[in-house]
């Protein structure tokens, strides 16, 4: 699995709803994971916009034994795509761009650019080659790449299919959307993100990332093999709006709550984001189970893995970010959901 791909997961939970979150179960899981060096990260859960649980385990920086806390900031990987899609819809609302316009004006060297629309990029129906599939990707992913170089890398790949004939996840789509945003606003993506989302929502721990700065409560990512070993660090010039944002669970919950309550884009455009066509919405996924639906995204870059999920009916927001793990994030989410809906959950045995 390449580093920016989402981790798609399925949910199975039983009927029965309880508004009393079983925090003891969640505490027990995280204590077990920390004790066995299976997980480092932070989680926050909100209901009706009010925090109902948070926890952090592990280290921001293993070398200095600096412990993580709820304000620790993580690279959130492909969860960035929800932010980028929201910015595109804001540009549509400001009449700077149309979803149905083709992208040849911006990327004449990209194959099929005269047939690929902005909409096709948003819901992964462009057929554009995913640069993270490049055999040499890990030879250059830690090095700065210019905008022209990234476009060249994307344009050099073979098309996967004709536009709008099927859906297939491609990080290239959202890198190109980043460059389109910069073109229409005549500003860097980081500045657009700040002006359109971060400042209006007063997100204190969210921004477009650069080189990891532990002194700024950003954390490194790690693998575990007897001890935690620091991972490589992708240069953020590469993922752009496909995976380059830094945030934490508290900010992520407020962001998705604001998105679903109409504070960022219109209800009409939110519905377009939510509409799934062959597995993909526009910047988000839908995870159905029983009679409920979860909307959100997952993310991964280097050894950072994150989940952002929202249940509209319950107004329940769940976000967790890890900077090192040997335990499936799907199981973490299952524990949260079972703790909220009063369902059984089997604790892991290590």
pLDDT digits (tens, 9 = 90+) for 113-160: 999 999 999 999 999 999 999 999 999 999 999 999 999 999 999 999
State the chain's mean pLDDT as an integer: 94
Is pLDDT at 339 greater than 90 in this prediction? Answer: yes
Strand partners, 223: 229
| Spatial separation of the C-alpha atoms in residues 318 and 308, rounded to whole Å | 6
Q: What's the average model confidence in pLDDT over 162-170? A: 97
Q: What is the pLDDT of residue 19?
A: 58
d(CA 128, CA 116): 9
pLDDT at 3: 41
pLDDT range class, residue 289, cuts 50, 70, 90:
low
**DSSP letters for 76-92:** -GGGHHHHHHHHHHHHH
Per-residue pLDDT for 318 more than 80? yes
What is the tens place of the pLDDT at every residue in 12-66? 333 333 358 999 999 999 999 999 999 999 999 999 999 999 999 999 999 999 9
Q: Among residues of the chain, what percentage have pLDDT more than 70?
A: 94
* Contact predicate 106/176, CB 8 Å: yes
- Options 3.10.20.740, 3.10.180.10, 3.40.50.1110, 3.40.710.10; CATH for 23-341 is 3.40.710.10
Say which residue, 289 or 234, is predicted with more confidence.
234
How far apart are the C-alpha atoms of 37 and 35, rounded to whole Å?
6
Euclidean distance between CA atoms 22 and 28, whole angstroms: 10
Q: Helix or strand or coil: residue 33?
A: helix
Q: How many CB atoms lie within 10 A of CB 168?
A: 16
Tokens describing residue 295: 């909307």
CB 242 within 8 A of CB 4: yes
Statement: residue 9 has pLDDT above 80: no
Q: Is the pTM of this model over 0.85?
A: yes
Domain regions of the chain by residue span: 23-341
């Amino acid at each position: 699995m390449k580093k920016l791909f989402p981790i798609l997961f399925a949910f199975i939970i039983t009927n029965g709803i309880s508004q009393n979150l079983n925090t003891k179960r969640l505490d027990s899981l995280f204590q077990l994971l920390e004790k066995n060096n299976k997980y480092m990260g932070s989680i926050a859960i909100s209901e009706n916009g009010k925090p109902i649980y948070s926890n952090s385990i592990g280290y921001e920086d293993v070398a200095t034994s600096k412990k993580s806390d709820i304000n620790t900031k993580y690279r959130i990987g492909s969860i960035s795509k929800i932010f980028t899609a929201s910015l595109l819809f804001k540009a549509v609302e400001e009449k700077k761009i149309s979803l149905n316009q083709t992208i040849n004006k911006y990327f004449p060297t990209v194959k099929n650019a005269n047939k690929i629309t902005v909409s096709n990029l948003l819901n992964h129906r462009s057929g554009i080659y995913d640069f993270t599939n490049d055999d040499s990707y890990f030879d250059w992913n830690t090095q700065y790449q210019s905008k022209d170089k990234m476009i060249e890398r994307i344009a050099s790949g073979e098309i996967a299919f004709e536009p709008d004939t099927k859906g297939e996840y491609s990080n290239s789509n959202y890198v190109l959307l980043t460059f389109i945003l910069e073109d229409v606003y005549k500003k860097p993506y980081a500045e657009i993100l700040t002006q359109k989302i971060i400042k209006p929502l007063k997100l204190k721990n969210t921004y477009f990332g650069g080189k990891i700065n532990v002194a700024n409560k950003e954390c490194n990512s790690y693998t575990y093999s007897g001890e935690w070993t620091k991972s490589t660090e992708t240069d953020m010039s590469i993922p752009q709006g496909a995976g380059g944002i830094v945030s934490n669970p508290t900010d992520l919950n407020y962001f998705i709550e604001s998105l679903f309550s109409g504070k960022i884009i219109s209800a009409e455009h939110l519905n377009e984001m939510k509409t799934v066509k062959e597995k993909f919405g526009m910047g988000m996924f839908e995870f159905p189970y029983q009679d409920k639906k979860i909307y959100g995204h997952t993310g991964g870059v280097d050894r950072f893995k994150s989940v952002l999920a929202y249940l509209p009916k319950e107004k329940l927001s769940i976000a967790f970010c890890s900077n090192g793990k040997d335990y499936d994030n799907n199981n973490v989410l299952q524990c949260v959901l079972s703790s909220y809906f009063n369902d059984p959950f089997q604790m892991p045995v290590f």
